[in-house]
Chains A and B, each alone.
Chain A
Amino acid sequence: MSKVRTFLIEPFDIMLHATEDGVQSLQARFATWLRTLNTPARFVCWQMPATLDTKINDLSRQAKETGDAQRAQLLMEYRRYYEQLDDNAEYQRALCGMAVWSDQNPRALAGGMGSSFDTLVVEGAWPALFEGKYEIRDAPFWHLAPVGRPGGRPLWALLNSYEFAPATWNFFRPLPPLLRLNFPLVLSIDIPKTYERNSAIDALEGIIQAYEVHLSGMRGEDSRSVQRVVDCRKALSEINAGDALHLVQVSVAIAADDLNTLRERVATVVNETRAWFSLRHEVGELLARSLGFFAAKSTKHIGLPDTTWPVVSRELALMLSPLGYRKLSGTTGVLRGEAVGAAYPIFHDSWRDKRATHEIWVGTSGFGKTFANNCYLTREYAENGVPFDLLEPMGHGKHIAEAFGLPWYVMSAKATKLNPQDVMFPTLIEQVSHTTRIYETVLGRPLSGGQRQNLERGLLGEALETLYKGFSRLDRVTPDVTPTCDVVCDVLSGLGEKDTIRHIARDLADEIAGLCTGSGPWAQFLNGMTNVDLTRGGRDWIRPRVFSFHELESDPILQALAYTQVLSAIRRDSLIDEQPRIIAVDEVYRLMRHPSLLDFLIEAAKTFRTRRKKLVCIDQQMSIFLAGKARLVFENSPIRVVFSQRQGMNVFQEDAAFQHLNQQHRDIIAALPRFHFVLDIQDEGLWYARSVATPGELSRFSTT
């Protein structure tokens, strides 16, 4: 016998396939994998009731430990909310596993399963059905009981299938209702044998022939024989169409804390499945042997009397339906939403990795992005102590600033000054390059690509270097001593050794001066000392900050410049430590449409990542993140939160980055109602979720 390999399979959400076409394609994919089986295999699904106790206890502990009264208050608010959720729901935790007796490379096997089941499959040890020592007991009925003090260990009873009724199976019946019973149970689908195609055909043809001989000599009615011939012919045609013939047996292990409940649960399971298959409550030696069906023990070694049933691959595929019933996974991380359909809370910890995992949020206006983002930022701050910087162009940052009692930085064309020469980078080259990018945006043309433009770039750089070199250390250049735009223009106009160069320098200085100094359109905003406190100011930890840009809405260039300077300041502070922080940029397109600022965003995304600063880019259409260089931001963001995308569905169909989505996923994205979204986490899974908010969050952010 080949070596057994065990795999753990993360269940997915069948709600993401819940159309006729969706489940059909799912069945076809499962069947395709099963057709390739030529060795024994076993599928197991463990289901245990779950609570939010761990989460609740963690929040209580944090509330006691934190010295921040505001955080403590928020933590207690979340604790109450989770307690309420726990009281009103019966959560379960589910895990699936597959054992394959094969000599193939386990990674190849896991890869094959992963692509067929469209979910994460890793080689791993199966969880044990029980811990410690158990013994068989015969009174009042046969069961397994813990030896010694139970210590919370339940009693177990085992059932095995022995007959399948001619009934219709699908992905929703009969196994999923079993999983909805809120008690611990484990389901095993044992596939001890898969017939080689020719031997399956021979066996079936033999049965048909025997029945035909019998029927030809019969005078009366024999409907059972006629039906058997029909079934055999149907099985033959399915095998000839590519299916394989498997022998299967279903085993169910049921747990309970006392004998009466155990007896009741056994009866419930037997009755629930009676219309599809019959279950036998195991007794005596069979009870002990049957445990092997929940471990990686071969059917031959288990040594039970053969009560398997022959099924073709397309039928067996439906027995893997528990794979489509994702339940509550871990409670680590923050609440991201509630699964649509199954209604379990989705928690995700995006800080497991030492690097930050950036996110992209897209969705049409009015579908709940901002509200969900405010809730997310609050949860990360309360539960993980992760502060944030919110950059938004609509003015709704006011609500979150008020909720946290934070200073609300409103960038205004009249009142705000942001000096382009403010030091944002640690080295002179980077700082000069950054300031040049800002002037390029102001000028509306790149300072590169032609001979004159290259000269202009060099001259501007020289002027800036001259000014910065006047300071002993770049990091000591505070806003009050930073050179202003008119100083830059003065220095620039005096550069150049040859007449032609002097002429170019003067022209460029005049051009910049015309825009940024005197009565130039951006002079009020750019020429002068920065009057927004973007400095770290010697602090070890920076509180959450909210920057609103709604008063710059009339001027997209000013808005882009303001975004850039604020992000640059955040980036500069990010380099100093590796404390986790979230930088949420709403309407990021306003930044991305300026090519030089897009470069900055890409570079910032990379820097943020290594310094544990999570960048959350929010905009209306996914398409803007996929075009040109913006794709680099997209590819650095493994978490995608997709709200309604009615107007931008083409990218989900055409772009290679979304090939993991099927038609059903696309249909869901196209028709997402308000406050619903698809959470797509690379290499982890896809969730169809609904925004949920605590009463506190609703009262704080309902106006957004």
Chain B
Amino acid sequence: MAADFKSHVLLRDEKGVFGIPFKRLLLAGVGGGLTYTLLSLAVPGWSILVAVVTGIAIVVLTGLRGGIPLWNRLVYRLRGTLLLIAVRFPRSPIGRLTEMLELPTDLVRLDGARVFAPPTGDLEIDLREWVTFAHAREEDGLVFVDEPLKEAIHE
């Protein structure tokens, strides 16, 4: 018996050009256009070049790498690098920046006992390990008494 896995049935494939969805192309266009508009006021000679580079960068950075947009992956990598530096050199400028940004530095040093701690401390006895005693003996924890024990509260 087998099963043929299907495509992602909860996701719509986006159409585009050269394998790039229109959404990303649109974003690149808007990003490039905005860059051109702003730079044409300040450095008109460079505005076209920077706008084109921005557009291309947006297309590349929004592409998926390992199921995650590249920019997102780079951010995680950067955060990881910052965390490592912050832990190794806590008094460095990057260490202070990390502290200011409240990045979770505890993710760098991981204690197995904490990360994999059982969710509940009151797990029941594993019945496979149950020991059946042949005799009721004191050392087995079973004591037979002559009469019911009196509760202290009634005495």
Contact = CB atoms under 8 A, between A and B. Distances in A.
Given A134-B112, A353-B132, A355-B132, A315 B119 contact: no
Contacts of B22: none
A138 B12 contact: no
A134 B110 contact: yes
Interface stretch (B27-35, B45-53, B67-75, B145-153): B67-75
B68 A166 contact: no
Contacts of B65: 280
A314 B3 contact: yes
Nearest to A291: B115
A131 B7 CA distance: 39
A228 B7 CA distance: 7
A315 B83 contact: no
Nearest to A296: B119
Contacts of B68: 162, 280, 305, 307
Contact of B126 (A124, A137, A227, A235): A124
B57 interface: no
Given A133-B109, A162-B66, A210-B12, A24 B1 contact: yes
B110 A276 contact: no
**Residue among B73, B80, B113 having the largest count of chain A Cβ atoms under 10 Å:** B80
B134 A355 contact: yes
A135 B110 contact: yes
Contacts of B20: none
B101 to A, nearest CB: 12
A142 B134 contact: no
Nearest to B83: A285
Interface in A270-307: 276, 278, 280-281, 283-289, 291-292, 294-296, 305, 307
A284 B76 contact: yes
Contacts of A163: 67
B107 A285 contact: yes
Given A24-B1, A136-B80, A288 B110 contact: yes
Contacts of B8: 164, 309-310
Contact of B134 (A4, A126, A309, A610): A610
A390 B12 CA distance: 72
B4 A130 contact: no
Contacts of B123: 123-125
Interface string B83-111: 11001000000000000000010011111
Contacts of A214: 15
Given A123-B124, A231-B9, A168 B2 contact: yes
Contacts of B5: 164-169, 276, 311, 315
A23 interface: yes
B76 A283 contact: yes
Contacts of A210: 12
Given A235-B6, A353-B132, A284 B80 contact: yes
A532 interface: no
B77 interface: yes
Interface residues of A, number: 92
Contacts of A106: 124
Contact of B6 (A99, A124, A166): A166
B4 A283 contact: no
Nearest to A281: B66
A684 B110 CA distance: 36
Interface in A222-271: 224-225, 227-228, 231-232, 234-235
Nearest to A356: B134
Given A283-B80, A309-B8, A122 B1 contact: no
A280 B66 contact: yes
Interface string A124-168: 111111111111111000101001000000000000101111111
Contacts of A224: 7, 13
Given A228-B9, A283-B80, A310-B8, A129 B2 contact: no
A204 interface: yes
Given A133-B112, A164-B5, A207 B10 contact: yes
Contacts of A281: 66
A354 interface: yes
Nearest to B10: A310
Contacts of A166: 4-7
A129 B114 CA distance: 11
A195 B82 CA distance: 38
Interface in A92-126: 99, 106-107, 120, 122-126
A203 B12 CA distance: 11
A144 B9 contact: no
A305 B1 CA distance: 33
24 contacts: A6-B118, A20-B1, A24-B1, A128-B113, A129-B112, A129-B116, A137-B84, A142-B80, A162-B67, A166-B6, A207-B9, A228-B9, A231-B9, A280-B68, A283-B77, A287-B80, A292-B115, A294-B116, A295-B116, A307-B68, A317-B3, A353-B131, A354-B131, A354-B132
Interface of B: 1-13, 15, 65-68, 72-73, 76-81, 83-84, 87, 104, 107-113, 115-120, 123-124, 126-128, 131-134
Interface of A: 3-6, 20, 23-24, 26-27, 99, 106-107, 120, 122-138, 142, 144, 147, 160, 162-171, 203-204, 207, 210-211, 214, 224-225, 227-228, 231-232, 234-235, 276, 278, 280-281, 283-289, 291-292, 294-296, 305, 307, 309-311, 314-315, 317-318, 353-355, 578, 610-612, 683-684
